[in-house]
Amino acid sequence: MNNLLSAKRTYHLTKRVFHISPEKNDVNLDYFFNPRSVAVVGASNKKGKVGYSVMRNIIDDGFKGKIFPINLREEKIFGLKCYCSLTEIEDPIDVCVVVVPAKHVLGVAEECGQKKVKGLIVITAGFKEVGHEGAELEDKLVEICKKYNMRMLGPNVVGMSSYMGNGQIFNASFAPRAPIPGKIAFLSQSGAMLTSILDWSLNEGIGFSKFVSLGNKSDLNETDFIEALIDDPDTEVILCYLENIVEGERFMDVTTCSSKPIIILKSGTSAAGAKAASSHTGALAGADIAYTKAFQQTGVIRAESIQDLFDYAVSLSMQPTPKGKSVAIITNAGGPGIVCTDAVEREGLKIANFMPETIKKLRENLPAEAAVFNPIDVIGDAKADRYDFALGTCLEDENVHMAIVIMAPTATTEFRKTAQAVIQHAKAFPDKPVVGAFIGGHSVVEATIMLKDANIPCYAFPEQAVKALKGLVLHSDYQMSIETCDGPPVFPNINKRQVQEIFETVEKDGRKVLLEPEAISVVEAYGIPVPKTKLSTNPREAVTFANEIGYPIVMKISSPQILHKSDIGGVVVGVKSDAEVRRHYREIVDRAVRAMPRAVIYGVEIQQMSKLPDAKELIIGMNRDPTFGPMIMTGFGGIFVNFLQDVSFRINHKGITRKEALAMISETKVYSLLQGVRGQAPSDIDSLIDVICRIGKLVTDFEQINEIDINPIFVFQQGTGSLALDVKITLR
Amino acid sequence: MNNLLSAKRTYHLTKRVFHISPEKNDVNLDYFFNPRSVAVVGASNKKGKVGYSVMRNIIDDGFKGKIFPINLREEKIFGLKCYCSLTEIEDPIDVCVVVVPAKHVLGVAEECGQKKVKGLIVITAGFKEVGHEGAELEDKLVEICKKYNMRMLGPNVVGMSSYMGNGQIFNASFAPRAPIPGKIAFLSQSGAMLTSILDWSLNEGIGFSKFVSLGNKSDLNETDFIEALIDDPDTEVILCYLENIVEGERFMDVTTCSSKPIIILKSGTSAAGAKAASSHTGALAGADIAYTKAFQQTGVIRAESIQDLFDYAVSLSMQPTPKGKSVAIITNAGGPGIVCTDAVEREGLKIANFMPETIKKLRENLPAEAAVFNPIDVIGDAKADRYDFALGTCLEDENVHMAIVIMAPTATTEFRKTAQAVIQHAKAFPDKPVVGAFIGGHSVVEATIMLKDANIPCYAFPEQAVKALKGLVLHSDYQMSIETCDGPPVFPNINKRQVQEIFETVEKDGRKVLLEPEAISVVEAYGIPVPKTKLSTNPREAVTFANEIGYPIVMKISSPQILHKSDIGGVVVGVKSDAEVRRHYREIVDRAVRAMPRAVIYGVEIQQMSKLPDAKELIIGMNRDPTFGPMIMTGFGGIFVNFLQDVSFRINHKGITRKEALAMISETKVYSLLQGVRGQAPSDIDSLIDVICRIGKLVTDFEQINEIDINPIFVFQQGTGSLALDVKITLR
């Protein structure tokens, strides 16, 4: 593992090492990034052919290892000896690039396997992206790779490139031009996105340590490359354009461990559409929320646009990460200072509160008309000395974590000298990021370039400068949160066996939906407080149970088909006598039969009626995301849950910690209600946290659970606990 | 008025013509924009002096009218005869630019007035921006202008420029360089923002019809210039950078009438902070929401950043406004197409549904691997002909309102020919906007410039192209909504006199807060349904009133100091007998005295207890914004109103229309509850609309009302009305 990882992050590391499946662990892709030899099957001398472009890129971009072109019809390619087959080559081959038509690829792969090639780059298209037959071909290709323990990038890729130091690039792609060397690794699921971004990057002066076209991802995928790049000494920032993630849980394992920034543009946020789901949790979770949460929980920065992706990457590759969120602004004009202040607050950063010494020093040394509170306005006639003094003074202030220098050109502005002052102060405070916003055209060009050359991002407008700082803060925020992270709580008295037995019964019945008493028993076995409940199958039994539990009671229809009981008059609360129990039993069953004639009715549940001293109604739910697994939800519950939509989510990545559970609750509006408003006593938030963590444990232990809705869960006054009133569980 | 205004917009026009105060109506600033003669008081031959820069700009930028430099010490300035005083000049003077020190400005203004100068541009600083003395000087300056019926821009400005046709610019400013002529007018409250944006615009090739530095706005302000620019034939788009708006209501009058797009970057969104407010409406309204609402209600486009301001301006000055929101995407690569689709949905636009003929035609003429649903993927090997065919075909589709053409460079891409095809189709469909997203560097530069030269904005990334279209849609959306707008409802049976009398009583008492029965009477006089309420001053009277109203009743403490009665135990509901009334009377008063010993207690209100068949608790409130006047709020009410924050706002600009009231309700989550969820009957939304409109009428009629909170207002089942249960009113 990367030696930058701090010892304090043991929780995540421990978890990870324990969980990652051995065959996937420690992906070593060094033979792709630094191969000693490469073969190109389908190499060509004909300009315009893919096999020509690949050869040209490998040779022209300075690959210094051995190169073996393979083509049946040629003797020499690019002046190198050409082979008819891999078997003719005596040297070992690290990487084989395949550009022959799809129908020949399986044969080539087989040959590569026998030759003990370590890595395949299958540029050839015509696999699963073209339909059923292509998918079958692709499956066979993967089988061959497995058989020979060969790893494959592709098929259907532009290729990859890796900066190998000393100006050498191993460029095994048909991209028209080589990238500038840099510290950013870029993985792209879209080949066209990759090549056009490369073209764009040359103009912008953005360099890459690696680029990888991921293609169909049938063997190696984004997680494999991210894992390898975390250890790559040439890479400081990992950028991805992704349309999906193949191994969600492993992705979370790997990214959790990264101290390097990972920035992802995940597209297709709108395409998935609303999933059909019977649970509230499913209905309330948007199609894309699991990705958002998985990224947040592992510290991956989610870019909203291509521009953001590169703005974040550039600032993270140039600047240190700040120790906090407080920004100092130095400007020579009021308007842009205000615009910058707005942007700082909009992006969730803070305007730094200067210490009294700082303000005193600024006041004593700047002109009387200058503004010495943040933003510092050195006013329009400022020369470089005022910028120099103001920036130095505020960077010395421990309340300042980073700075933005705004310059609006006036007749007296000293462009070069001001840029030099900014560069010197940035060097003097290596843990405080500094960015520039030099507004203007010709007059600021030179100063802007000076800053960029000194690794200080500089933009035309203050808002972009703030965005750049935000990228740094997003990364440092997560790195700091990890240090204080503890694992999910351990619950000693859990009756796993009872749950196992209930699930077996349900599965034996051929059911997917648990009856309410079953569902109640499941959560009860995991220590979640529930009201006493019994299933009666006739009015007499109902009366017996009601007396055992004690009046008043609640009566509910019991049927696997009837999920929303109160909608069909299947629930009566506050039943107080034997006579009432008998009457309601018949009426409830009658209404259920009329409303849903085909429903199988098991009887009527008799439930303890919990007293409600200031009880708040919440919901706790779980919905299974196809990529990332169980997703836990909590928020405002009761019958208006769908209308209020006051809920928050977390991926249950090996359980939920108490800190995560509290964070979930505090993201909802109902949190302020739980804390006690308008004279009401605070609610038992600890008890709610406990239930959320127990649900996390339950869904971690039992993968067959598809959905859970506890709605409502009553949360009582502080110290008096909570009660899961209505529990629905369905299995997969 | 502008002849572009359609006849259908009579409602707004009628309102406006009726309401605008005569002295402000029809601001004619033609002598500023097209003066025949200009005097410069403080003109100078010395480079570096402001008086030098102004003279140089006026002469060099091609002003063809008469120029009169004034300076005591010079004989000639820039080769022109120099005067000692305005009185020496025989010709009439349209505009006088003043650059002398602040202490001399009043004298110059007086002289200008006597000389019958029409417009002053006071560049000189040192007025209210420097403190109390400066403010006094500024007040005197404004008085002089009023006395002579002279209009003034400034003081404390960079100046202004106006394109006068034939390459001539009247550039009465000290900006270092002249702008490129164009169709965008730019007003800026920050001088530095203006000059640095000008510098930037030269590099970007963005041109201006006018620019105006607004400075201290002590006479002419943004609204005056916007009103004049709406009529300016050289201006197509009006851009503003503003830190505040001076005349809020007039601003709304003027902007409502504009068929030209007005785009404003309003800064200081965070600076104002939360206002202290005793009403829910005040507490829930953010510092900046009145600006947001005023802009939305008048169709002003609010830019969130300087970049947005110009992106919107450029697309609105180049492209037509679309007839709807549906976008067609043509791309030669899948990834950028998906990114574009995400952006379209994120920005609130729609992916067009092609008609079957369109899909058939595309399918028949594009290669089998092409995607013919939207986005159309003409695939990587596409030459210009496929773009040509696909764009032409989808623009013919009536479901398509605009198009984005994405190009990711490949070996076969025909850059110039594709650009030509795009230009031709854009010309052939003059009412359907087309924008480009050509991703790349060197390879796309020429094609990008070709598009821009043909007035087709073209960006490096799809997200920016979508943003450009969004600017167009924001403008067309409002233009279309105006056509179907009717005025606020007319209420025949309103007892204005009763309200007048109550307010007089309250004012006579020296109170600001109405007692609850007074507040109830006020809204009752405006036809809002209220429960029967009487104020009892002793237990015996309370019993009498309770019997008159009929049991059960509600009892509430009556005191101008006690606003949140239930918090101190001042409210008892469901009182059922004479004995209970007597007992509660004493207890309520006791609790009030203990909780607030200094409160003046008037007695206990006896109120009808309304039965609640499925009643929903809403809130309706009014809070007075210092800039835009009364702001109406509605949403989820009851005691949790602050916690749920499910409310919406409108500026009450001369009343609220039924359509606006419905729009307000439908912006809240409680709307879905009012429509009936989970088997509940729908609520009487019409009745709620009626109450909102009546509150609008009330606050329009009585400017002395400071705040209103009706919380809760019970909204009953459809057809059974609503009931204002608790009403608070405070006066200014």
Count H helices, E strands: chain A? 25, 30
Binned at pLDDT 50, 70 and 90, residue B284 comes out as low
Nearest residue in A to B380, CA atom: A192
Rounded CA gap, A186 and A702, in Å? 37
Residue in this structure with the two tokens 């301001």, named with its chain if needed: B309
Residue in chain A lying closest to B336 (CA)? A193
Instruction: Tell me which residue of A638, A645, A643 sits closest to A566, measured CA to CA.
Output: A638
> Mind listing the pLDDT tens digit for each residue in A615-638?
899 999 999 988 999 999 999 998
3-state secondary structure of B436: strand
B88 by DSSP, 3-state: which?
A: helix
CB-based contact, B276 to chain A, within 8 Å: no
What the block records as the tokens of B534 is 């009487």
| Subunit contact A243:B673, Cβ cutoff 8 A | no
How many other β-carbons are positioned within 10 Å of the β-carbon of residue A59?
16
CA triplet A163, A167, A173: central angle to 5 degrees? Answer: 45
Q: Number of CB pairs < 8 Å for A and B? A: 208
pLDDT at B574: 86
Indicate the SS3 state at residue A690.
helix
pLDDT in tens, B131-156: 889 999 999 999 999 999 999 999 99
Distance, CA of B53 to CA of B30 (rounded, Å): 24
Domain architecture of chain A: domains with CATH:
319-483 (3.40.50.261), 496-608 (3.30.1490.20), 616-731 (3.30.470.20)
**Which residues lie closer than 8 Å to B131 by C-beta, 6 or more apart?**
none
Residue with tokens 């929980």, as numbered in its chain: A297
Residue B138, token pair as written in the block: 């500024």
Region B1-28: mean pLDDT is: 38
Q: How many CB atoms lie within 10 A of CB A403?
A: 30
- Do the chains contact at B335 and A672, CB–CB below 8 Å? no
Q: Is B531 exposed, middle or buried (0-12, 13-18, 19+ CB in 10 A)?
A: middle
Task: Express as a percent the part of chain B with pLDDT over 70.
Answer: 93
Helices (H), A437-534: 442-453, 462-483, 496-508, 516-525
How big is chain A, counted in residues?
732
Q: B525: how many CB neighbours lie within 10 A of its CB?
A: 19
Question: Cβ separation of A196 and B439 shorter than 8 Å?
Answer: yes
Contact B27, B227 (CB under 8 A): yes
How far apart (Å, rounded) are the C-alpha atoms in residues B155 and B128? Answer: 9
The residue in chain B having the minimum alpha-carbon distance to the alpha carbon of residue A335 is B190
Instruction: List C-alpha distances in Å: B215 to B56, B173, B462.
Output: 22, 12, 38
Radius of gyration of chain B (CA): 32
With tokens 């007005």, the residue in question is: B262
Give A475's pLDDT tier (boundaries 50, 70, 90): very high
B567/A410 Cβ within 8 A: no
What is the C-alpha separation between A710 and A727, in angstroms, rounded?
4
| φ, ψ for residue B334, nearest 5 deg | -65, -50
Beta bridge partners of A607: A533, A554
DSSP conformation class of B460: S
State how far the Cα of A158 lies from the Cα of A156, in Å rounded to an integer. 7
Residue contact A202–B267, C-beta within 8 A: no
Separation CA B637–CA B120 (nearest Å): 53
Calculate the alpha carbon distances from B457 to B199, B316, B416, B453, B496 in Å. 21, 10, 16, 9, 56
Chain B residues in contact with A336 (beta carbon < 8 A):
190, 192-193, 196
Specify the DSSP class assigned to residue A485: -
What per-residue confidence (pLDDT) applies to B546?
94
- Residue A540's SS3 state is helix
CA A85 from chain centre, in angstroms, equals 44
pLDDT value, residue A611:
65
Q: How far apart are CA A404 and CA A407, in angstroms?
A: 10
> pLDDT-derived band of residue B167, with 50, 70 and 90 as boundaries?
confident
| Residues of A (584-623) whose Cβ lies below 8 Å from B | none
Prediction pTM value: 0.87
The whole-number average pLDDT for the span A656-679 is 90
Contacts of A460 in chain B (CB under 8 A): 200
Residue B6 has a pLDDT of: 33
Q: Which two tokens stand for residue B156?
A: 């404390």
Q: Which residues of B touch A305 (CB under 8 A)?
A: 339, 343, 461, 463
Residue A30 CB burial class (10 angstroms; 0-12, 13-18, ≥19):
middle
pLDDT of residue A567 exceeding 70, the answer is: yes
Residue A642: how many other CB atoms lie within 10 Å = 15
Mean pLDDT, range A493-503, rounded to an integer: 95
How far apart are alpha carbons A690 and B342 in whole angstroms?
Answer: 38
Antiparallel, parallel or unpaired: β B66-70 and B37-41 = parallel
When scoring A201, A269, A306, A647 by the number of chain B Cβ atoms within 10 A, the one with the most, hence best to mutate, is A306
- Taking residue A689's Cβ as centre, other Cβ atoms within 10 Å add up to 22
- What is the per-residue pLDDT for B609? 80
Question: Phi/psi class of residue A66: alpha, beta or left (left: φ > 0; alpha: ψ in -120 to 50)?
Answer: beta
Q: Which two tokens stand for residue A308?
A: 């953001």
Q: How confident is the model at residue A530 (pLDDT cuts 50, 70, 90)?
A: very high
* pLDDT grade for B277, boundaries at 50, 70 and 90: very low
What residues contact A355, with CB distance under 8 A and at least 6 apart?
A: A397, A398, A399
Distance CA B106, CA A650 (A): 67
**Helix, strand or coil, per DSSP, at residue B579:** helix
Kindly indicate the confidence band of residue A48, based on its pLDDT and cuts at 50, 70 and 90: confident
How would you classify the pairing of strands B616-625 and B705-715?
antiparallel
Phi/psi at B513 (5° precision): -100, 130
Residue B3: what pLDDT?
34
pLDDT digits (tens, 9 = 90+) for B659-709: 999 999 999 999 988 998 766 789 999 999 999 999 999 999 999 999 999
Q: Find, among A249, A220, A225, the residue nearest to A239 by Cα.
A: A225
Using alpha carbons, select from B362, B446, B375 the residue that is nearest to residue B405: B375
* pLDDT surpassing 80 at residue B316: yes
- The residues that bridge with A649 in the sheet, in sequence order, are A633
Q: Where are the alpha helices (DSSP H) in B191-262?
A: 191-204, 222-230, 248-256
Binning pLDDT at 50, 70 and 90, where does residue B18 land? very low
Residue A245 DSSP symbol: -
The C-alpha angle with vertex A41 and arms to A36 and A44, in degrees rounded to 5, equals: 105
**CB count, 10 Å around CB of B589?**
19
Query: What angle do the packed helices B289-298 and B248-256 form, to 10 degrees?
Result: 30
Q: Buried (b) or exposed (e) across A462-488, using 16+ Cβ within 10 A?
A: bbbbbbbbbbbbbbbbbeeebeeeeeb
Contact A642 B192 (CB under 8 A): no
Mutant choice from A173, A196, A374 vs B, greatest count of B C-beta within 10 A: A196
- Give tens-digit pLDDT for A644-658: 789 999 999 999 999
- Say how far apart CA A681 and CA A677 lie, in whole Å: 8
Q: Are B650 and B294 in contact (CB under 8 A)?
A: no
Task: Indicate the angle between helix axes B191-204 and A334-346, nearest 10 degrees.
Answer: 80
Asked whether the beta carbons of residue A192 and residue B567 sit closer than 8 angstroms, the reply is no
- Residues in chain B closer than 8 A to A48 (CB atoms): 411
B 349-388: CB under 8 A from A: 369, 380
How far apart, in whole angstroms, are the C-alpha atoms of residue A215 and residue A127? 10
For residue B398, give how far its alpha carbon lies from the nearest alpha carbon of chain A (Å): 24
Neighbours of B128 (CB within 10 A): 17
Task: List b or e across A414-450, with b for residues whose CB sees 16 or more CB atoms inside 10 angstroms.
Answer: bbeebbbbbbebbeebeebbbbbbbbbbebbeebbeb
3-state secondary structure of B538: coil
CB B289 within 8 A of CB B264: no
Q: How many CA atoms lie within 13 A of B363 on its CB side?
A: 8
Q: What Å distances lie between residue B639 and A413, A616, A678, B636, CA to CA? A: 57, 14, 8, 10
**DSSP structural state of residue A189:** S
Which residues of B fall within a CB distance of 8 Å from A200?
439-441, 460
The mean pLDDT value for B364-380 works out to 92
Interface of B with A in 504-563 (CB under 8 A): none
* B629 SS3 class: strand
Asked if A237 and A184 touch (Cβ cutoff 8 Å), the reply is: yes
DSSP-H helix ranges across B405-513:
415-428, 442-453, 462-483, 496-508
Distance, CA of B454 to CA of B389 (rounded, Å): 20
Alpha-carbon gap: B670 to the closest alpha carbon of chain A (Å): 7
B-contacting residues in A 419-458 (Cβ below 8 Å): 439-444
If pLDDT is split at 50, 70 and 90, which confidence band does B270 have? low
> Which SS3 state, helix, strand or coil, does residue B340 take?
helix
